[in-house]
Amino acid sequence: MMPALLSVAASLASYAGFACLALAMPRHWAEASGQESAAAPHRRRLRPLGLLMLGVSYALCVYRDGPSFGALLWVLLCYAAAIAVALTLTWQPRLLLPAVWLYRSVAKGP
């Protein structure tokens, strides 16, 4: 059960990571939020957040399978996750809206 949960968590983390990296790009931000993006300052914060999520995914993979299998699992999960984000942006960009809201609520904060 635990390994299955860990791989689900690692998959979600890498998906979220790539979703953040995608939203950091003006074109994809516009697709997901439905607004033309101005020169929004969001890029600066979404990118490190995305990288952080990928790091979390890596940590989960290594925790699950050890350094060698973990690293391999992470590389292939990233591949699948990045393709999944691209397909989400193509067919259901609105699915990434929660990330947009989350970003906005954080960005509005102090």
Partner 1 sequence: MEHTFGNAMARLHTWAGVILGGLLFAIFWMGTLCVFDREIDRWMMPKTRLAKTSDISLDHLARAVASTVPAKASQWRVDLPTDRVPTLRFSCRDGAGDVIARHLDPATYQIIPDQGTKAGTGFIFPFHYGLHLKWKDLGKWFVGLAAMTMLVLLVSGVVVHKKIFAQFFTFRPRKGVQRGSLDLHCLTGVIGLPFHLAMTLSGLIIFVSFYFPQAQWGAYGSGEGAKAAYTAEAFGSFTRPRADAPGTLASLDAMASQAEREWAGGQPYFVRVWHPGDANSYVELRRSYAGDITMNLDQIYFDAASGELLHRFEAAAVMKVQRFISGLHFIQFDHWTLRWLYFLAGLSGCVMIATGFIFWLGARRARHARKGLAGVRVVEGLTVGSVTGIIVATLAFFAANRLLPQGTSFAGQGRAALEIWTFYLVWVACFIQAWWRPAAAWREQAWAICVIALACVLLNSVTTGDHLIRTVSQRTWAVAGMDAMLLLLTLLAAWVAIRLGRKAVDRAVQSGPVSIATEVRS
Cβ-contact 18, 85 below 8 angstroms: yes
Choosing from 13, 16, 20, 22, the residue that interacts with partner 1 (CB under 8 A) is 22
Cβ-contact 105, 38 below 8 angstroms: no
Choosing from 16, 46, 53, 89, the residue that interacts with partner 1 (CB under 8 A) is 89
Provide the minimum distance between the beta carbon of 99 and partner 1 in the complex, in angstroms, as a whole number: 13
Size of the site for partner 1 (CB under 8 A): 24
What is the crossing angle of helices 97-108 and 26-33, to 10°? 100
In our burial notation (b when 16+ CB lie closer than 10 A, e otherwise), range 14-39 reads bbbbbbbbbbbeeebbebbbeeebee
Pick 82 or 100: Cβ nearer partner 1: 82
Residues 25-64, one symbol each (x = binds partner 1 by CB under 8 A, - = not), give x-xx------------------------------------
